[in-house]
């Protein structure tokens, strides 16, 4: 998703409220955006505040300022993001002066461009650290930046992502949050309201993002993020109406499905002692008929045509008729046997043996 603007984000009521603040000539102060998906709204809001010619309270997307904020390069848009003990790569070490905050921000720009709905967990993974936090030193830097005059635009914006990580250290910002200088804005972004100090909440204009409906998720992700409806539907129940969480679940679901499918079909292809190892390790209760039924159903699901996009040629072949038809028949026979209380391990072993024959017939030939 490129050139993010408020009008293109799915929460229309939230976007409308933020655009109203932009259009207000007397607007100033500190905003606190709360929700799983609050980050891109903070960014789009900042772009609108800095825009040279906003349209109905939204960034025009074409002026010099908008072109710079779109690349996350504008000097009057300052980011404060959580970090940890970050190690520079070989390439980064060779870039003169790329250390400390500069190193973190270099990684941040890349990560945010790739996914503006990035989550704390994804960011920690990008940094290759177990835990991230918002050090007091970074909060002091935020105060320093908000007190410094803008360079190019009429306004200056400091976005603090991970405000729910400030803890009591946030107290050093109370005076700045309460009365930032004219034309300077602080946008706090947090996942949970309960983690924000009451003294900070009382000094902020609070805007909370409600969860999206499944239809809203499908519409936005398919039109703006190029995610298929099938992928959204698969995980929407656990996505809690959040774009960022749904995207994370889709990514994890795809990764796991891809890895497990490759592992299973490689084992089926090889036909050896790995079969029994896989059967024993796939579940803690492989002797349970109900558990074995789930494994059998999963074997069928990974060759469902919707998984062909995972890119493995053997799955693409097996997900097409007549191979798929034969696999479906074998799975149905296995389920029938389990319903008649046939030994689960024997049933699974027999199924893998027959699937090996299907693999040889359609993939190896």
For residue range 99-114, list pLDDT tens digits in order: 577 888 988 999 999 9
Q: Give the pLDDT band (50/70/90) at residue 82.
A: very high
For residue range 120-133, list pLDDT tens digits in order: 988 988 888 888 89
**pLDDT > 50? residue 340:** yes
* Rounded distance between C-alpha atoms, residue 150 and residue 173, angstroms: 19
Q: Does residue 47 contact residue 257 with C-beta atoms inside 8 Å?
A: no
Quick one: pLDDT at residue 335? 86
Element (H, E) at 156: strand 156-161
Pick the range with the lowest mean pLDDT from 46-60, 76-90, 209-223: 76-90
Q: Does 3.40.50.300 match the CATH number of domain 6-82+133-210?
A: yes
* Rounded distance between C-alpha atoms, residue 5 and residue 45, angstroms: 8
Ranges of each domain in the chain: 6-82+133-210, 259-364
**pLDDT > 90? residue 284:** no
Residue 48 CA to its chain's centroid (Å): 24
Quote helix, strand, coil % in the chain, to nearest 5: 60, 10, 30
Q: Give the pLDDT band (50/70/90) at residue 159.
A: very high
């Amino acid at each position: 998703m490129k050139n993010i603007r408020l009008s293109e984000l799915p929460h229309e009521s939230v976007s409308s409220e933020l655009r109203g603040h932009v259009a207000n000539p007397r607007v100033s102060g500190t905003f606190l955006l709360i929700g799983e998906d609050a980050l891109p709204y903070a960014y789009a809001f900042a772009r609108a505040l800095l825009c040279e010619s906003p349209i109905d309270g939204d960034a025009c997307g074409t002026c010099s300022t908008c072109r710079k904020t779109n690349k996350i390069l504008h000097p009057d848009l300052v980011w404060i993001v959580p970090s940890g003990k970050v190690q520079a790569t070989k390439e980064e070490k060779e870039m003169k002066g790329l250390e400390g905050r500069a190193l973190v921000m270099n990684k941040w720009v890349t990560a945010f461009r790739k996914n503006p709905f990035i989550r704390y967990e994804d960011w920690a993974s990008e940094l290759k650290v177990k835990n991230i936090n918002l050090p007091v030193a970074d909060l002091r830097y935020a105060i320093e930046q908000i007190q410094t005059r803008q360079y190019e635009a009429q306004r200056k914006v400091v976005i603090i992502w991970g405000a729910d990580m400030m803890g009591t250290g946030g107290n050093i910002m109370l005076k700045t949050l309460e009365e930032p200088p004219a034309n300077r804005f602080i946008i706090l972004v947090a996942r949970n309201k309960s983690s924000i100090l009451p003294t900070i909440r009382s000094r902020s204009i609070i805007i909370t993002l409600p969860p999206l409906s499944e239809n809203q998720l499908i519409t936005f992700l398919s039109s703006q993020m190029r995610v298929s409806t099938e992928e959204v539907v698969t995980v929407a129940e656990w996505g809690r109406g959040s774009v960022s969480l749904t995207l994370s679940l889709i990514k994890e679901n795809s990764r796991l499905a891809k890895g497990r499918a490759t592992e299973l079909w490689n084992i089926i292809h090889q036909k050896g002692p790995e079969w029994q190892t896989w059967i024993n390790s796939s579940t803690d209760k492989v002797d349970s008929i109900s558990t074995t039924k789930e494994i059998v159903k999963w074997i069928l699901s990974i060759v469902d045509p919707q998984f062909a996009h995972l890119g493995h040629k053997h799955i693409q072949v097996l997900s097409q008729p007549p191979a798929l038809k034969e696999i479906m028949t074998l799975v149905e026979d296995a389920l029938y046997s389990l319903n008649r209380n046939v030994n689960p391990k024997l049933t699974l072993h027999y199924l893998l043996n027959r699937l090996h024959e299907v693999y040889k017939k359609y993939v190896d030939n």
